[in-house]
Amino acid sequence: MFSFTVRSFFQKAVTLFFISIISFLVVYLAPGKPSQIDPLNPRFTPEDLVRYRKEFNLDKPLHVQYYLYYKNLFTGQLKSWKDNRPVMGKIRERVMNSLWLFIVGTLITWSLSFPVGISAALRRGAFFDRFSTFLAYVLISIPGFFFAYILIQLVVKVFNVPVIGMYTFGMAQADIIYRVMDRIWHMVLPSILMALGGIALLSRYVRAQMLEIIHQDYIRTARAKGLSADAVYYKHGFRNALLPFITMFGLILPGLIGGSVIIESIFAWPGIGRMAFEAILARDYPVILTINFISAVLVLAGTFISDLLYMVADPRIRL
Amino acid sequence: MRNNLSTGETSRDLPEEVSRFAEAWRVFKKNTPAVWGLVIFIAFFIVAVAGWFLTTGETPVLDPAKVRLSEKLLRPLSPVNTDMVEPGDRPVFGIYLLGTDDLGRDVFARMMQGAWVSLTVGFVAVGISVVIGIILGGVAGYYGRARIKFMHVLCFIAFFASMILLASGRKEPALDLFVTSLLLATVSAVYHYLAARGGAGPRPLDFLFFDTFSVDTLIMRFVDIMLCFPSFFLILTIVALLPPNIYNIMIVIGLTSWMGTTRFVRAEFLSLREQDFVSAAKALGLSDISIIFRHMMPNAIAPVLVSATIGIATAILTEAGLSFLGFGVPPPHATWGNILAGGERFIFDAPWLMYIPGFSILTVVLSFNLFGEGLRDAMNPKLRKR
Q: How far apart (Å, rounded) are the C-alpha atoms in residues B77 and B56? A: 23
Distance (Å) of CA B123 to CA B68, B135, B254, B315: 33, 18, 9, 8
Q: What are phi and psi of B89, to 5 degrees?
A: -90, -5
CA-only gyration radius of chain A, Å: 24
For Cα atoms B145, B151, B152, give the angle at the middle one, nearest 5 degrees. Answer: 55
Non-local (6+) Cβ contacts of A98 within 8 A are: A256, A257, A260, A264, A269, A271, A272, A273
pLDDT-based confidence at residue B262 (cuts at 50, 70, 90): very high
Return the H-helix or E-strand segment holding A317: none
pTM score, whole prediction: 0.84
**Residue A146: which of B243, B313, B358 has the nearest Cβ?**
B358
Asked if B230 and B96 sit in the same domain, the reply is no
Q: How far apart (Å, rounded) are the C-alpha atoms in residues A24 and A165? A: 32
**Residue B170: which of A22, A61, A257 has the nearest Cβ?**
A61
What are the tens digits of pLDDT across the range A87-125? 888 888 888 888 888 889 889 998 999 899 988 988 888
Distance (Å) of CA B315 to CA A315, B137, B235, B318, B332: 40, 21, 11, 5, 20
What are the tens digits of pLDDT across the range B187-198? 888 887 877 776
Asked if B227 and B369 sit in the same domain, the reply is yes
**Checking DSSP bridges between strand B78-79 and strand B211-214, what pairing results, if any?**
unpaired
CB of A62 less than 8 A from some CB of B: yes
pLDDT-based confidence at residue B200 (cuts at 50, 70, 90): low
Q: Name the DSSP letter for residue A86.
A: B
Considering only residues 95 to 134 of chain A, which have any Cβ-Cβ distance to chain B shorter than 8 Å? 134
Considering only residues 247 to 306 of chain B, which have any Cβ-Cβ distance to chain A shorter than 8 Å? none
For Cα atoms A183, A189, A194, give the angle at the middle one, nearest 5 degrees. Answer: 115
Asked if B359 and B336 sit in the same domain, the reply is yes
Contacts of B165 in chain A (CB under 8 A): 62
Contact B218, B148 (CB under 8 A): yes
Is the four-CA dihedral A89, A93, A94, A95 of positive or negative sign?
A: positive
**Residue B228: which of A140, A280, A300 has the nearest Cβ?**
A300
CB of B166 less than 8 A from some CB of A: no
What are the tens digits of pLDDT across the range B93-132? 667 777 777 777 788 888 888 899 888 999 999 999 999 9
Asked if B26 and B88 sit in the same domain, the reply is no
Asked if B86 and B111 sit in the same domain, the reply is no
User: Residue B7 falls within a domain, yes or no?
Assistant: no
Asked if B87 and B141 sit in the same domain, the reply is no
User: Residue B328 falls within a domain, yes or no?
Assistant: yes
Amino acid (one-letter) located at A59: D
Residue A80 backbone zone (phi > 0: left; psi -120 to 50: alpha; other: beta): beta
What are the tens digits of pLDDT across the range B33-68? 889 999 999 999 999 998 888 877 777 777 777 777
What are the tens digits of pLDDT across the range A74-95? 888 888 877 778 888 888 888 8
Contacts of A30 in chain B (CB under 8 A): 238, 241-242
Contact A23, B229 (CB under 8 A): yes
Asked if B311 and B362 sit in the same domain, the reply is yes
pLDDT-based confidence at residue B360 (cuts at 50, 70, 90): very high
Contacts of B337 in chain A (CB under 8 A): 143
Q: A174: distance to nearest CA of chain B, Å?
A: 31
Give me the pLDDT at residue B384, please.
54
Asked if B137 and B285 sit in the same domain, the reply is yes
Contacts of B351 in chain A (CB under 8 A): 153
What is the complex's ipTM, to 2 decimals?
0.85
Selection from A106, A88, A147 nearest residue A272 by Cα: A88
Contact A307, A319 (CB under 8 A): yes
**Residue A261: which of B228, B232, B337 has the nearest Cβ?**
B232
Q: Quick one: what percent of chain B has pLDDT higher than 90?
A: 15
What are the tens digits of pLDDT across the range B149-189? 787 888 888 888 888 777 766 777 788 888 888 888 888 88
Give me the pLDDT at residue B55, please.
79
Contact B111, B339 (CB under 8 A): yes
Q: How far apart (Å, rounded) are the C-alpha atoms in residues B111 and B48? A: 9
Asked if B287 and B234 sit in the same domain, the reply is yes
Query: Domain range for residue B272?
Result: 20-57+105-146+215-383
Asked if B229 and B366 sit in the same domain, the reply is yes
With b for 16 or more beta-carbon neighbours within 10 A and e for fewer, the A146-180 pattern comes to bbbbbbbeebeeeeeeebeebebeeeeeeeeeeee
CB contact under 8 A, A61 and B168: yes
Asked if B273 and B226 sit in the same domain, the reply is yes
Contacts of A150 in chain B (CB under 8 A): 358
